[in-house]
Structure 1
Amino acid sequence: MSLTTPPPSVLDLSAAPLATGLRIGGQVLEGSAAPIDVINPATGEVIVRVASADEHDVDRAVHAAADTFRSGTWSRLAAHDRARVMHRFADGIEARMKDLYTLETTNNGRPITETRAQITRLPEWYRYNASLLLADRGAVVPLRGDYHSYTSRFPLGVVGILAPFNHPMMIASKSLAPALATGNSVVLKTSEQTPLTALLLSDIAADAGVPPGVLNVITGLGPTAGAALAEHPRVGKVVFTGGTEPGRAISVAAARRFAKATLELGGKSPVLVFADTPVEVAARGAAFAAFIGAGQTCIAGSRLLVQRECYDEVVDALARITEQIRLGDPAAADTQLGPVISERARSRILTRIRDGVAEGARLVTGGEAAQVPGLPGGYFVQPTVLADVTNDMQVAREEVFGPVVVAIPFDDEGDAVRLANDSPFALGSAIWTRDVARAHRVAEQLEMGMVWINDHHRLDPSSPWGGLKDSGIGREGGWESFHDFTHVRAITVRTAPDDVDWYGGRATGRLN
């Protein structure tokens, strides 16, 4: 691990005036709950204080969204016109790109090089879903007899999106884009820790021509505002990214009213390294999988499974790379690892590391809080490698959600698949091998929502993203997501020349 020298000044936020109020029905409102201090995790200092919604505010936001939906200003707007607004929205995001990645880096502590690389892709999601809107077609259903049957789709109504702190804009946009494209109204509840970019995004949407009440943004605490949104009877679909237990509660709340739910929850993604992969290639790939975003991502490659014959070499190489990762101020261009989101998160991560060592894991490198020069209040954690872990240890089965990777040896292909699938989580996975046949063969045996081969963390608006088991349900991206923001209706037209006269003595054929 190495430490970067902090830049002479923090990121300049003057070019991006900080929005702090709730956005409901086109109005900027103060919340009814106590305001929330938004913290810069690199310094531990307050950036700004924002409004906080209570149950009453959430109800007001949902009703504003529902009233706008019923008015038809967006829900019944012609597809070409709605797509045109979506493209203007994407243009507006591009125009404010620097403001967005500056805000997000300051707000969640992710290094600015990572944040810029991720947020510059946001317009793709809005343009892609605008294109799906224009490309979408109903299906003709072949019925027996003199009938013409076809399907059409219509929006759900109000969609509630509960965004996380780790990738606030990217994760929100993965669902916001298809929800808007298909004609829904949205209430977006930000993480209380990272609300700033979503508030700015609502202003960009309004400037692009998204009608008032179509995109409502509320800030507030999860147990109050988040729970009220998930449980609201007028919300037709809930999208949530976060922990498994809150996701389970949200799923139950949605099921009670037969609402849809897309839940991207916990993960303990296995990275399978076979001995035919060059050691340095495997180690670099493992570090990328584990430490991007300070490991604060559900898809992090936090469970490294290495073929026994190259296990020691890969672990040693990974340790060497890990010790060279540059911790520092997220504003610095050469920083490779920023802080975790809060002091509470740092304490939890360090406790998990100590518990893993107590279980029998070998601490190879890291394992402590890091002190960064010039940033004594920052929530930094040394990137950590734990080796000689067994798959039944808690540190191998529970999500740490920090810069921690556990290394586990395996014997052969069958053993690797068994270990990879032996987890309560099933979000993503990666395979490192030079054997093309093995890559496909193993990928088909991994019971995961996503598999990368010789890579990790890659996403695209056209590719379905999501998991199973304790990693959640539903998909973001592609047609799978786009259509899940709609209902389907079947329309059947009788084309026979005679009238229906079932009770007039001419009853023939079938009822169904």
Structure 2
Amino acid sequence: MALLDPKDWLSLHGDPTEAVEPATGEVLATLTLAAPTDVADAAATAAAAQRDWARRPYSERAAVLRRAGDLLQQHAAEIGEWIVREAGSVRGKAEFELRTAAEECYEAAALAHRPLGQVLPSGAPRLSYTTRVPAGVVGVIAPFNVPLILAVRSVAPALALGNAVVLKPDPRTAVCGGHVLAAVFAEAGLPAGLLHVLPGGADVGRALVADPRVRVISFTGSTAAGRSVGALAAQHLKRAHLELGGNSAFLVLEDADLDAAMSTAAWASFFHQGQVCMTAGRHLVHASRYEEYVARLAAKADALTVGDPFRAQVHLGPVIDRGQLGKIDALVRESAAAGVRIAAGGTHRELFYRPTVLADADPDATGPGSVGASPAYCEEVFGPVAPVRAFRTLDEAVALANESSYGLALGVVTRDAARALELADRIPTGLLHINDQTVNDEPVAAFGGLADSGTGSRFGGEANLDAFTETRWTTVRATPAAYPF
């Protein structure tokens, strides 16, 4: 029996729209977007429903989360097809999303019975303790690239901890990033009114951030959009957890095993067409290995297949839309015009962009592999592009890694893990992976970036307790206290 019912996608009050398959342009379904008035209605309903949900036994909340995880697995074929077709994901990536989304629900179920406070010492004759209480209504704004995971990683723990949720998925992945979760949690027995799915544009996002009943905002998206969300949230004196962009460095030291590193390097930049915030946007390679590294990575890129992920076994699918394609292609062309060599790729057919390796010096730069200030090196491309630059000393590697205003992920490839740890201590980053690539995520791990990659907030594991609860200090005396007036 199918889980999803397209009739449920027509009840909002915004403009009609279509779920489109980027690989073919085929219309997969017709749906309606949310309007700002839908946000007010959803927030009011959610606030009313949340009070009863927070009072329910923790075991009941946990059971709903466990059933949601089971349903994601039971309906994997149906949901996976939507992830492949609507988001342009290859099948392996869709399977990863489903597996991780289920794990997010199971991990969230465990949150429901975590200790919720601690007893404190007090200088007065009283019991003094803290408790964690639900924040209330949580607003979740999720992007198109890994739509199911990047929605459920906030939705599941927020619900488990006694909150209600208003979710705004990207309209381009409204089904697999939004309506799927509405159907899953309804089937899992979540009481009505606790989860609202409102796909919409920036006006809906602003209404969600501004609504006084929404007390916490969980946003994943670009740094530019995150700045606007953070500023508006600050105006309304509410917490905003901002998980933003990146231009992560992938350091290859002189002792690296390139035979082993090539798969890691390619995955770091080309997974899901590079449309991941953790993608390696800067391959920093020791000068003694630089030429071999570029040649090997280019050969790897040339060997990868690009095509329709629903109808063929391919390594890369399409980018999400023509706007994203235009940005990727412009950055590569501007870099080539500045003197950067396109060692592989740099071409596209429709929305299918070839995995691309950029190398060689900027005309104004010196030394092997320096790409100077080429746009594809300095900016977040959000496409399958791997710029490669050489360094000669570890001090230079640290300086290059620290040039970016982002601080999300760092990968280091070396035979000396202790040296990698020492090196990483000099490079501010939220995530560090030694002898692994930068695109990593697990539900039990705290996830988040620094600087332009976010506010330092974290999702995952016990970090979710801080994200979606408030701390209340309580004192209890046996008799009323006496004061000197």
Q: 1:127 and 1:16 mapped to 2: Cα distance?
A: 20
> Are 2:94 and 1:115 aligned?
yes
Q: Which residue of 1 aligns with 2:200?
A: 220
Look up the SS of the partner of 2:80 in the other structure: helix
> Are 2:372 and 1:385 aligned?
no
Q: 2:115 and 2:341 mapped to 1: Cα distance?
A: 54
Amino acid across the alignment from 1:214: L
How big is the shift at 1:359? 2.2
Q: 1:20 and 1:394 mapped to 2: Cα distance?
A: 45
How big is the shift at 1:248? 0.4
Q: Is the 8 A contact 1:36 1:220 kept in 2?
A: no
Q: Given the superposition, is the C-alpha separation of residues 241 and 214 from structure 1 closer, same or farther in structure 2, using an over 3 Å criterion?
A: same
Deviations 1:450-473 (A, max 9, x none): 011111222111111111111112
Map of 1:130-279 to 2, 5 A cutoff? 130-197=109-176, 198-221=178-201, 223-279=202-258
> Are 2:438 and 1:451 aligned?
no
Q: Is the 8 A contact 2:104 2:153 kept in 1?
A: yes
> Are 2:438 and 1:486 aligned?
no
> Are 2:75 and 1:99 aligned?
no
> Are 2:67 and 1:85 aligned?
no
How big is the shift at 1:391? 5.1
> Are 2:394 and 1:413 aligned?
yes
Q: Is the 8 A contact 2:277 2:382 kept in 1?
A: yes
Q: Is the 8 A contact 2:111 2:161 kept in 1?
A: no
Q: Which residue of 2 aligns with 1:4?
A: none
Q: Is the 8 A contact 1:231 1:250 kept in 2?
A: no
Q: Is the 8 A contact 1:21 1:51 kept in 2?
A: no
Q: 2:474 and 2:393 mapped to 1: Cα distance?
A: 54
Deviations 1:273-315 (A, max 9, x none): 0111112222221101000010001110121000111011011
Q: Which residue of 2 aligns with 1:464?
A: 446
Deviations 1:61-84 (A, max 9, x none): 1111112113x1x12111122112
How big is the shift at 1:15? 5.2
Map of 1:16-31 to 2, 5 A cutoff? 17-19=4-6, 21-22=8-9, 30-31=11-12
List alignment gaps of at least 5 residues for structure 2. 361-369
Q: CA RMSD in A?
A: 1.7
Q: Is the 8 A contact 2:128 2:474 kept in 1?
A: yes
Look up the SS of the partner of 2:314 in the other structure: coil
Count of residues in correspondence between the two structures = 473
Q: 1:423 and 1:122 mapped to 2: Cα distance?
A: 31
Look up the SS of the partner of 1:88 in the other structure: helix
Q: Which residue of 1 aligns with 2:307?
A: 328
Q: Is the 8 A contact 2:359 2:371 kept in 1?
A: no
TM-score under structure 2 normalisation? 0.94
Q: Is the 8 A contact 2:3 2:184 kept in 1?
A: no
Q: Which residue of 1 aligns with 2:269?
A: 290
How big is the shift at 1:332? 4.4
Q: 2:149 and 2:127 mapped to 1: Cα distance?
A: 42
Structure with higher Rg: it is: 1
Q: Which residue of 1 aligns with 2:420?
A: 439
How big is the shift at 1:234? 1.6
Deviations 1:386-409 (A, max 9, x none): 113435333222111101110011
Q: Which residue of 2 aligns with 1:3?
A: none
Deviations 1:312-340 (A, max 9, x none): 10110000000000112112462110000
Q: Is the 8 A contact 1:38 1:50 kept in 2?
A: yes
Q: Is the 8 A contact 1:129 1:482 kept in 2?
A: no
User: Which aligned segments of 4 or more residues in structure 1 are displaced greater than 6 angstroms?
Assistant: none
Q: Given the superposition, is the C-alpha separation of residues 236 and 499 from structure 1 closer, same or farther in structure 2, using an over 3 Å criterion?
A: closer
Q: Is the 8 A contact 1:139 1:151 kept in 2?
A: yes
How big is the shift at 1:16? 6.0
How big is the shift at 1:485? 0.3
Q: 2:338 and 2:476 mapped to 1: Cα distance?
A: 67
1:401 aligns with one of 379, 382, 386: 382
Choose between structure 1 and 2 for higher RCO, CA contacts under 8 A separated by at least 6 residues: 1
Q: 1:20 and 1:319 mapped to 2: Cα distance?
A: 47
> Are 2:323 and 1:344 aligned?
yes
Deviations 1:190-220 (A, max 9, x none): 1110011221221121111100011111122
Amino acid across the alignment from 1:500: A
Percent identical among aligned pairs is 36
Look up the SS of the partner of 1:123 in the other structure: helix
Which is worse superposed, 247-256 or 472-481? 472-481
Q: Is the 8 A contact 1:20 1:51 kept in 2?
A: no
Look up the SS of the partner of 2:64 in the other structure: helix
Deviations 1:151-199 (A, max 9, x none): 1011111111111100110111111111111111001111110011221
List alignment gaps of at least 5 residues for structure 1. 1-13, 23-28, 371-377, 505-512
Deviations 1:415-457 (A, max 9, x none): 1111111101111110111102112112222201101111122
Which is worse superposed, 78-87 or 159-168? 78-87
Q: 2:384 and 2:124 mapped to 1: Cα distance?
A: 63
